A and B are shown apart, each in its own frame.
Chain A
Amino acid sequence: MDYSWDFGPVIARFDMLAIGFLNTIKIAIVSILLGVVVGLVLVLMRLSPRKWLSWPAAIFIEFYRNTPPIVHFFWFFYALPVLLSVSLDPYVAAVLALSTQSGAFYAEVFRGGIVSIERGQWEGARALGMTHAALMRRIIVPQAISRMVPPFIERSFELLKTTALASTLAYADLLYQAMMVNAETFRPLEVYTTIALMYLVLLVTASQLARLAEARLTAYQ
């Protein structure tokens, strides 16, 4: 192990990595927000008593949960454009892959929270004369949210890690930028170690923030 480390070339191109770092954060936030929308639509369909709504949602969710994310990325980038005869740029394809995939998981998180509320709560609210909408809004959802928070955070954390796959579509995220820097400097050990540490900082910070949010959102229990 007489390799002599030299971070000089990496530091000289740190601006490229910084851009990648910000792009990673950007695509994660956009995908989480869109994923929540997808998840809400899916869970409403999934919990509907109408089979023509609940079945497609169930199939969509199961399919996404049981296939690797990289397949989704390539499918949206290469297959979907052929099907629709439009072209998608890497950013759009990556956001589509990330948000549909996280949407499928979020839908299960939401559903899990709602069905975990005891039957007595539904009955207690109904016995008072509440409509379904009122009992959802006042009784079930407020209690379900605090139960959804931990698995929601865990899923978002997974999504943040999965953003690295956007590099395979040549989206300029942190990993892709690192590949560019590596191609210029031929210093893979330093480059990839540096970005591994950057991901570590990002993810540890994110999980600390999430823990704070979790403590506040689940306070009454």
Chain B
Amino acid sequence: MNYSPDFSVVLDNWPVLARGLWVTIQIWLPSIALGLIGGFLISQARLSSRRWLSIPSLVYVELFRDTPVLIQLIWFFYAFPILIGVQLTPFTAALLGLTLNTTAYSAEIFRGGIKSIHRGQMEGAKAIGMTHAQAMRRVILPQVVKRMLPAFTNRMIEVAKMSSLASVISVHELMYQGRLLSSTYYRPFEILTAVAFIYFVLIYPGTFLAGRLEKRLARSS
């Protein structure tokens, strides 16, 4: 091993990586936020007693959970535009793919959480005259959210990792910039290692937080 690493190439190109990181955050956070909303709606359909709601939502969830996310991104970028007759930018396709993916996973988190709340809670709320929506908002969800916090934090971590796949459909996020720099300067070791570190710094606090939340939850219950 007589290779001498030279990390100055990383420092010199710091603004490029920072721009990439900014794009990463721009796909990451919106797809989490939108995915959570979508996930809640789908979970309601999944739990519905109407089969025309519960079956399609089940199919949707399984489709997204049982195919690789990279295929989903590629499909939304290359295949979907043909279907709708409108070309999508890489960014839009990535955001769409990641949002729909997050929706599917969040739906399962919500569903598991809601089902884990004892039936007596819903009955108790209805017994004092609450509507289904009121019981959900005032009684069930506050309990679910607390219980599901570690799972949601884990999902955030997963989505942050998934966002790096957008580089494959040439979204100019962190991984894309890293690949570009490493082929431009032919310093793959330094640049890819630096990129890995940036991701680590971005993601590790989430893992740490999820672990803490899990421990606290285990203690309180």
Contact = CB atoms under 8 A, between A and B. Distances in A.
Interface string B43-75: 000000000000000000011001111111011
Contacts of B149: none
Contacts of A62: 204, 207
A122 interface: no
Interface residues of B, number: 45
Interface in A170-221: 175, 182, 188-189, 191-193, 195-196, 199-200, 203-204, 207
Contacts of B217: none
**A-B CB proximity, top 5 nearest:** A78-B188, A68-B164, A164-B68, A68-B161, A188-B78
B130 interface: no
Contact of A66 (B2, B182, B207): B207
Contacts of B199: 66-68, 71
Contacts of B74: 175, 192
Contact of B69 (A80, A161, A163, A182): A161
Given A62-B204, A79-B188, A193-B75, A71 B164 contact: yes
B162 interface: yes
B162 A182 contact: no
Nearest to A77: B188
Contacts of B70: 164-165, 167, 175
Interface in A15-52: none
B167 interface: yes
Q: Is the interface of A mostly helix, strand, loop or mixed?
A: helix
B68 A71 contact: no
Given A195-B71, A196-B72, 16 more contacts: A3-B85, A63-B196, A65-B207, A66-B204, A70-B175, A74-B178, A74-B192, A75-B193, A83-B1, A161-B69, A167-B70, A168-B168, A188-B82, A192-B71, A199-B68, A203-B67
Given A1-B84, A82-B188, A165-B70, A66 B79 contact: no
Which size class do A's interface residues fall under?
35 or more
B189 interface: yes
Nearest to A63: B200
B203 A71 contact: no
A121 interface: no
Nearest to A161: B68
B195 interface: yes
B95 to A, nearest CB: 17
B128 interface: no
Contacts of B164: 68, 70-71
Contacts of A70: 164-165, 167-168, 175
Interface in B183-211: 188-189, 192-193, 195-196, 199-200, 203-204, 207
B96 to A, nearest CB: 14
Contacts of B175: 68, 70-71, 74
